[in-house]
Amino acid sequence: MAKVVDKALLNAGPVFIVIAFGLIDMCVLAYYLVVFPYMHQLTSQKPSSLLSLASMLCNIVFTLYMVYCIHFHYYMAIKTPPGSMKLTKSPQDEDQDTLLGYEEEAQYPKTCKKCNLPKPERAHHCSVCNECVLRFDHHCPWIHNCVGHFNHRYFLLFMTYMVLSAFYFVLFAWRPFIVSLDMLNTDWPYFYPRPLMAFSYILAICMGLAVSALCGWHYYLVMTGQTTVEFYNNYYEKDVARNQGEIFVNMYDFGYKENFRIFFNIGDRNPWYSLFYPVPIPPKGNGRVYEKCQEFYLLPETQQRDHVLSHQAVQDLEDVKDL
């Protein structure tokens, strides 16, 4: 049964993408054909003041920027491979990660139970895509792709701009929405139909609430140095460590600020304001080897080993459960 569901999700992926683009662009059309003219009274014959023209220009620039960011990050989340064993290391990552990778592979060799290929840390086998994904978070049918090491940044920024735009639309479109509900009044000087305007407003509320919950969840994971899969595993291991009188340490947690910087690859090469650039920015590292936090290395060596082996055991359980 699970294989049938996975196959259906894989085949239905392009349909989800078409639906998503259609719903997003429906709200975009509603804004520019109804809300924007209503805000700036473009249907009236009154001359516009210099202040109103400046406000109109700022509104156009801001909203076009938001619309472009939504489409850009959504496209990049779809088209960017999340990372698999087929990818090779880039030259800039080679010197940093090779020795660490060799050392860890020698101590804790890992092999995927499904595809029988070497498995890097934090990687999981996606039953829908049928391959190991680097720093796997989850498979998302709305992007017809897995959310992994190389496209997680685009996926999160897409949701961020979606939430901001949805609430911006709801904030400024409530008056046109009320007018669109008055079906008895025939005065509707817009090309966009009234029912679609009402539907777009309700849709923006629903999308804003739903996506904001998912977006907030992913920001929490980013700030705590976890993926969705790792969160549930760490939650279980915390209880085990508490019952055994030990201290649980998430070896990938460097603190809120550093976790945020690592995830968005903010540093000397990419300043903090690069977050607002709708341009391709790769993540930090190659997705195969990850640095560990200082608290992890302060643990006894036996506990470090047990923690890594426990993490691998959970990877194996996730991979063989669908066999």
Tens-digit pLDDT profile for the chain (323 aa)? 667 777 777 888 899 999 999 999 999 999 999 999 998 876 555 556 778 788 889 999 999 999 999 999 999 999 999 998 765 444 444 444 444 444 444 444 577 777 777 788 888 888 888 888 999 999 999 999 999 999 999 999 999 999 999 999 999 999 999 999 886 677 888 889 999 999 999 999 999 999 999 999 999 999 999 999 899 888 888 888 788 887 888 999 999 999 999 999 998 789 999 999 999 999 998 888 888 898 888 888 887 787 777 777 766 665 555 43
* pLDDT value of residue 299: 80
Please give the single-letter amino acid code of residue 227: T
* pLDDT value of residue 90: 46
* pLDDT value of residue 274: 92
For every residue of 101-156, DSSP letters joined together read HHHHHHHS--B-TTT-SB--TT-EEETTTTEEETT--EEETTTTEEE-TTTHHHHH
- Selection from 262, 238, 261 nearest residue 250 by Cα: 238
The length of the chain in residues reads 323
* pLDDT value of residue 145: 94
Task: Tokens for 6, please give them.
Answer: 């996975």
pTM for the model: 0.88
* pLDDT value of residue 314: 65
* pLDDT value of residue 48: 62
* pLDDT value of residue 260: 96
Give whole-number Cα distances, 110 to 106, 117, 318, in Å.
Answer: 10, 9, 14
